[in-house]
Structure 1
């Protein structure tokens, strides 16, 4: 049996201990000690290991275990003192603390502290450092005892952070409650202010050294999303620190008079360069602030529209020396005209990179103009080579008609005129053919003149013969 000696401090006389006696033996083999106040004595302060108790129960000022509620070994449920630390402990990490009401054998638990440090309010098995029972309603009240309050609650799968009334706000910041530096406020009406405590719109961002919005992308994503209504608007960071704004449907920018796009210094507009302007009449100016047509460019020579390619070789339109240019990237690239669309294109005319033009054909070959079909014109001017006036030169040797007949009999076509087979295979050159035909007409004219001379000579001879016959 372990006997603990202590000194009792009387309410009236110091150093005089009251009488005590053993009680009956308990069922577990222990005894109770009863103190009596005979002679007017009653117990005031008790000292365990100290002769100068200054409280109803006083322990000596040494570190270590003070009260053991269960178990006598090194590990137990009890109270102790560490270096500047009051300790309430269990025997091991698997044992817990519970707070509640009733009695030890009729206990209603309200709070539990697990051996691992997790605290459960209204639950016995907290899985987090602070856990509440899985019931809807208020969880934490920072101000107010019941009903409306400043606190945190849960309702219908919704985490709520609330104030007491709609004119009260929620603020985020740093410092302390007394010395608070606010950087974000949610008004009771739902308006959010960043850098301002008086937001007038659903989201108000006050200016500062670094104003604006920052969107960052997580793994697998390269864009941020702003959603208005049911439409997603995407913001993407460019490869050189720029920004892309795009949408699944449409993006609408509005201005009362002029909508302009600029670069350079947005803080100092005197250093900014306005690149594109849209007037309220719909005219768009690129490089000019006063577009006089639905699409206007700055008045300087050079490339104007780039349809494909880079700054060096591309398909596009440009201006040089009072000349409108439509060009491809190289001499092996062509320009085509037609109808339909880019993906479903029906070509009607092509200009080859070498300058040859095909109408109704994609391959004009070596011809400057190749037409697959009929050509209608009121006047055609052909500039050709040598004209066959050499036929009338006295040095020109005109074939005899017999020679012509022999050639036709052998070749089945006139001399110098292409055969039917050649025309079918190679076609004809209008200028050359007209010159050849004129040559044949001129040759035929010479034949006719010669025949006329011969006829006149015969007629003269016949007249002489007739005169002689008449004389006889």
Structure 2
């Protein structure tokens, strides 16, 4: 027959009354022999009772047993502090941990001003305050393909944000380990500064979000190659949807009611499968017909064309839906009309010009109204043709001026002859 042993250990403990404000008392350690084993350390001579307890419990569900660590602090009731389950999970503040390590405690206030206020604290100690060291939470995964050789390959590190004495501004790094120049080093993937600025690839962001990485080759042909990428997912390739970057500003004059009022959206430029041609829209929101819509202010096609107010650019590099106002327009032409003044230029007679107008209803080398309506005009080419007609007209005027002077000379001679005859 097994012996049931009740072990009672009486320990005399001396308390500093200044520190604990309680009188000397006897602590007792009890180990029971029941089905739910327990060990209790109790101090019942002060307040409602202090102590610690370790006990085994079968919750009756989940296929597990629990080893609980409980305590009471000036209270007659026990509170579970930590639980170790038979399947290897540890819970702090919970007796039903859902992960290997599970902490449960009241919410931490978002705007708390306490110097230590979190559900879990990791403290790094040092003899000084400097921005190059801090407290870290590390993540270990295998370095070998067989699951062995565990290495810390990612971590969250918090350091001081400055070296000033008596300050509590912090800086947070989210880091991964990488092999650089044959050495394993930590890469600062994401940096959060006490100013609220966030840096990706930089530890000194000068804006709320600053991304720094190597310059992108203008002629890069990689599938994805940018300093920052925005991806829109879809079950199809459709020119009416894409990935967008939006800009929000207030809709009300008092700075409230924030609405997205501008965006850059990139869609497919066609619906062909296996095709990566893109189309980019720069859009602003406008109100029309009782609804808010997006205006196609600027459209860039994969052909290199640009549309202002339109997606349909035809064969043109720039198409504008509407009028264009400009202080000056420069057209670079490949030729000009000075050939009219060449000695070998055959100038039509005015009779020939008249005949052409009579038969066709427009000047030679000038398109008809029907042609202009259908095809429009090339500004540089039309200006050259108009100049050609002006130069031809100038030649006609020069010739007419010669004829006029000749006629005037003949008239003068005839007048003199008539005058002489009258005086005889």
* Contact 1:169–1:185 under 8 Å retained in 2: yes
Q: 2:278, 2:205 → 1: CA distance?
A: 33
CA offset at residue 284 of structure 1? Answer: 1.4
Deviation string for 1:266-293 (max 9, x for gaps)? xxxx843221111111221111111123
TM-score normalised by the chain length of structure 1: 0.46
Match of 2:228 in 1: 305
- Which among 296, 302, 307 is matched to residue 358 of structure 1? 307
Match of 1:323 in 2: none
Structure of greater Rg: 1
Q: 2:302, 2:204 → 1: CA distance?
A: 36
Correspondence 1:332-347 to 2 at 5 A: 332-340=277-285, 345-347=294-296
Q: 2:227, 2:353 → 1: CA distance?
A: 64
Deviation string for 1:330-381 (max 9, x for gaps)? 773111111239x963321101111111101111111111111111111111
- Which among 175, 192, 196 is matched to residue 262 of structure 1? 175
Q: 1:409, 1:186 → 2: CA distance?
A: 113
Q: 2:296, 2:67 → 1: CA distance?
A: 64
Would you say 1:188 and 2:85 are equivalent positions?
no
CA offset at residue 446 of structure 1? Answer: 0.6
* Contact 2:93–2:104 under 8 Å retained in 1: no
Q: CA RMSD in A?
A: 4.6
Correspondence 1:205-244 to 2 at 5 A: 215=99
Structure-2 change in CA distance of 1:414 and 1:191 (3 Å): farther
Q: 2:374, 2:317 → 1: CA distance?
A: 18
Secondary structure (helix, strand or coil) at the match of 2:316 reads coil
Q: 1:460, 1:227 → 2: CA distance?
A: 118
Where do 5+ consecutive residues of structure 2 fail to align?
2-30, 58-65, 74-78, 85-90, 110-140, 143-152, 155-167, 179-183, 217-225, 234-241, 246-264, 269-274, 287-291
Where do 5+ consecutive residues of structure 1 fail to align?
1-83, 85-141, 144-149, 153-162, 175-181, 196-201, 206-212, 217-223, 232-239, 244-254, 318-325
Q: What is the number of equivalent residue pairs in this alignment? A: 256
Correspondence 1:8-19 to 2 at 5 A: none
Match of 1:272 in 2: 186
Q: Which has the higher contact order (CA 8 A, sep 6+)?
A: 2
Q: 1:256, 1:214 → 2: CA distance?
A: 34
* Contact 2:282–2:298 under 8 Å retained in 1: yes
- Which among 434, 451, 460 is matched to residue 383 of structure 2? 434
Structure-2 change in CA distance of 1:423 and 1:170 (3 Å): farther
Match of 2:196 in 1: 282
Secondary structure (helix, strand or coil) at the match of 1:304 reads coil
Deviation string for 1:86-135 (max 9, x for gaps)? xxxxxxxxxxxxxxxxxxxxxxxxxxxxxxxxxxxxxxxxxxxxxxxxxx
Task: Spell out structure 1 runs of 4+ moving beyond 3 A.
Answer: 163-166, 202-205, 213-216, 224-231, 240-243, 314-317, 326-331
Secondary structure (helix, strand or coil) at the match of 2:365 reads coil
